[in-house]
Chain A
Amino acid sequence: MNRQLVVIGNGMVGHRLVQALRERDTRREWHVTVLGEETRPAYDRVALSSYVDGTTADELTLPELGVQLHLGDPAVAIDRAARRVRTASGRTLSYDALVLATGSVPFVPPVPGRDLPGCFVYRTLDDLDAITAAAEAAVARPGPGRRSAVVVGGGLLGLEAARALRRLGLSPQVVEIAPRLMPVQVDEGGGALLRRLVESSDLAVRCGVSVTAVAPDRGRLTATLSDGVELDADLVVFSAGIRPADALARAAGLALGERGGVLVDNRCRTSDEDVWAIGEVAALEGRTYGLVAPGYAMAEVVADRLLGGQATMTPAELDMSTQLKMLGVDVASFGDAQAATPGALEVVVDDPVAGTYSKLVVSGPARSDSGELVDGARTLLGGVLVGDASRFASLRPLVGSPLPADPAAMIAPGGVELGADALPDSAQICSCNAVTKGAITSAIAGGAHDVPALKACTRAGTSCGSCVPLLKKVLATEGVEVSKALCEHFGQSRAELFEVVAGTGIRTFSELVDRFGRGRGCDICKPAIASILASLGTGHVHDGEQAALQDTNDHFLANLQRNGTYSVVPRLPGGEVSPAQLITIGEVARDFGLYTKITGGQRIDMFGARVEQLPAIWRRLVDAGFESGHAYGKALRTVKSCVGTTWCRYGVQDSVGLAVALELRYRGLRAPHKFKSGVSGCARECAEARSKDFGIIATEQGWNLYVGGNGGFTPRHAELLASDLDTEQLVTIIDRFLMFYIRTADRLQRTASWIESLEGGLEHLRAVVVEDSLGICADLEAAMEKHVGSYADEWRGVLEDEEKLARFVSFVNAPDTPDATIEVVRERGQPVPLPAPGVRQPTELRLRRPCAVIGAGAPITAHDPAGADR
């Protein structure tokens, strides 16, 4: 620690400088002394107005930084030759580097009476304490009428002051010399709406006039305006702008800007190499900045420079964007809000009914020397938003970039909503802390996966917070990437690959991955492509290379269970099963030692079959007339039915007959996910058809078709697609629906989320498959006819093919030796796997109720083995 840094000024910018220096000066090169004029520690002046809402001074206080701090002892002179600062108390401090962060002082117009008791400025916590005391005294004073205040200045600060005064129980009147409120930030149109909106919130506004005098009047004040009007007031608050607090620098002989402020270059260095100036006192290349964000950026630059860095101020860091809620009105302004750029065009959407005003300023059409149009009025220069500033976060970072859409569409109600991906990496997301999108995305890549983490490591969103919605958008596009790529091997979505396979005639994975992908696939793309090939009717699922694409269920045509055994489900169309078939299933299960359970899809599942047992089991089943139930496939599972007119007193249609016919029609049809159906013979809906991907409910006139239902993790009721169909119409629409789903859905996307993902949802689906709006129905029907015509039972196909059968062995070198790791215990008279350690224990119901329970003491145990088509 060998060099002395003296910082004059303990406001937000001075504080930020010390904080940045403390964080980076790990070798403690600098000893820091801070001189503060106020007696309070540094506080958040941006949130000053919240003080009247009850936020305490403590809550506004910025963190202590562990440096030498002299409060209430402002610097009074700088001896640059001796590099010494003298303070009001007579302290003398030597410096190696001096930073001026004295900020600004309120501008009070030189009107007579401005120093009278009852006249205030709005700048510090002490000012607010004084205003509060005066307001409380005024309110407490006896006498008729509401107590009132005059606010001189209708800019950002003036409106904040007016709000604070109203909060303190006064009736404020705002006097603004410009023709509109917030003249720096908003234009005429925005100002007009802003005025209308704030006036409706009980605030009187006078624009285009100035205060010419303040005079005492029977214990109160009278403000005289330039138009002769006299306003009575208990308080007058001057908030007509600020001036750089540059008196000290002026006295020290430092160069000043033309309109005041200590002149600095883009390193924030003054005309004296050892003296820097930051914040509102600095005239950066001649211009002063009254917002905290550029001040912070200057603090960062100087901290860097003090440690030998090369940082400079960039134009982006001088962003004067503003977004705030002013008296309940959202106001935002960014870039060239006043369209001062030569040739700039203004696009305005002004909706007085909705109370919103939006303006974008874009560059005019520019032509190159050869007359070619080089910029078709697309570069965003700035904008104004009043009433609804929700688009601010996404528009502001685009300043200087071409707009991705027509300017009017970007601000029209219901127009283009910008995603974070529309922003270039250089776009500034957080203007308070000068954080670019590039910095955010690299932080995300570095593991910051939520807003708090991003705040912690980039400081974005930690000041005004207006960029937090945009941070979320960037997280959404970066962290939770919505890529349609199937996996690392294919950049295409499943629907695109379906079109590729259908269009090119490619029928092997190898050719597809060679031409349209990379690598050798994985457990995501291989089954998806196997499914596409199967949907297009490429023969048995184990033919040729297809065998290597199938996951274990499709490879062994059975459902893998947790202990490495499989379950077997023969098809029982419509849930109908004859006594002879029941006996066969019973005998097979008994002979092979299988556990049996009724599924939710009205069929019977046999569990515990070892790989090498599967062919023998299926030989018995196929011989008895059964075929594969495709319980293992992403395919049609079951068409559940009630007994309908066959037995039921209330049935109005033959639900069993239809269910059987539909199950036989669509059996073996591979799809992006499993799909199920149900047919109910009347409106009582005993088949629970509305919980199915396609459900049919009988009506007196025919059938109602519902689509998009499922049970499972996110239960959904199917919605009505078409009503009172005859059977032929019904089947035609189902054919189209299923084929459209198979062609366009994502991998593992069930019908419900597929319909939701369609633009236009169910209405669009109805247009396509009922009204044939795309003209593809003939294709869809032909594809279904091809499937129906080429169906063959997969298990019969295996049993008739020695090569396929040869894969059903436990060990390639010991084909009939059972896997010794499979151990079985008996439960309720049936064989089940050993409980997995710590995972699954038999459920024992021991109800400790006061009344007697039949068979008390004998535990009831229950298991819930993984079913094939529950």
Chain B
Amino acid sequence: MTTVVPDLRWHDVCDLARLLPERGAAALVDGRQVAIFRTHDGGLHAVDNIDPISGAAVLSRGIVGDRGGVPTVASPVYKESFSLLDGRCLDADGVSVTVYAVRITDGRVQIGIP
């Protein structure tokens, strides 16, 4: 059995140093708004910047933390938390945000878009 991995196109965003630990940053990648987060342990996560509940493009401005060890960002509008691992909203059933691939190459943060 083989797993089909879609080809990702990697987009250069910024220096890693521009990402504050436990703070997000919004990026414009291939016409999409992506919220990129750097967690305390150095992990990088990227999800859609648009909060599906309020419709505002603000998830990058939420507070980063964890719920039961799962890294999260809380929407600054109505405070729902989203898992940074799978994009699932932890406070509203059936709501989620897209998760994007993110990597560091030569100190630069890159986002992978299928």
Contacts and interface: CB of A to CB of B under 8 A. Distances in A.
Interface in A438-494: 488-489
A811 interface: yes
B79 interface: yes
Interface residues of B, number: 40
A523 B65 contact: yes
Interface of A: 488-489, 510, 519-523, 525-527, 545, 547-549, 551-553, 555-556, 560, 562-564, 611, 806-807, 810-814, 817, 819, 821-822, 836
B16 to A, nearest CB: 11
Contact of B57 (A527, A555, A819): A819
Contacts, number: 102
13 contacts: A520-B39, A520-B40, A521-B65, A521-B66, A523-B63, A526-B65, A552-B76, A560-B76, A562-B54, A562-B77, A563-B56, A811-B33, A821-B57
Contact of A547 (B23, B65, B77): B23
Given A520-B71, A523-B74, A526-B65, 19 more contacts: A488-B67, A488-B68, A489-B65, A523-B81, A525-B65, A548-B63, A551-B63, A551-B76, A552-B58, A552-B61, A555-B61, A810-B26, A811-B27, A812-B25, A813-B13, A813-B29, A817-B28, A819-B33, A821-B33
B70 to A, nearest CB: 10
Interface in B81-106: 81
B55 A836 contact: yes
A548 B64 contact: yes
Nearest to A555: B61
Contact of A519 (B12, B25, B65): B65
B14 interface: yes
A563 to B, nearest CB: 6
A564 B79 CA distance: 14
Contact of B63 (A510, A526, A556, A822): A526
Main secondary structure of the interface of B (DSSP, over half): strand
A548 B62 contact: no
Given A510-B40, A552-B61, A563-B56, A519 B14 contact: no
B114 to A, nearest CB: 19
Given A548-B64, A812-B26, A560 B74 contact: no
Interface string B14-36: 10001111110111110001001
B24 to A, nearest CB: 10
Given A812-B14, A813-B27, A564 B58 contact: yes
Most A CB contacts (10 A, CB to CB) among B36, B56, B57, B62 go to B56
A555 B22 CA distance: 13
Given A551-B76, A813-B28, A814-B28, A564 B57 contact: yes
B61 A811 contact: no
Contacts of A553: 76
A525 B74 CA distance: 12
B69 interface: yes
A552 B37 CA distance: 15
A817 B29 CA distance: 12
A201 B2 CA distance: 88
Given A522-B81, A548-B22, A560-B76, A527 B63 contact: yes
B44 interface: no
B50 interface: yes
B14 A522 contact: no
A373 B40 CA distance: 54
Nearest to B76: A552
A811 B23 contact: no
Contacts of A552: 58, 61-62, 76
Contacts of A810: 26
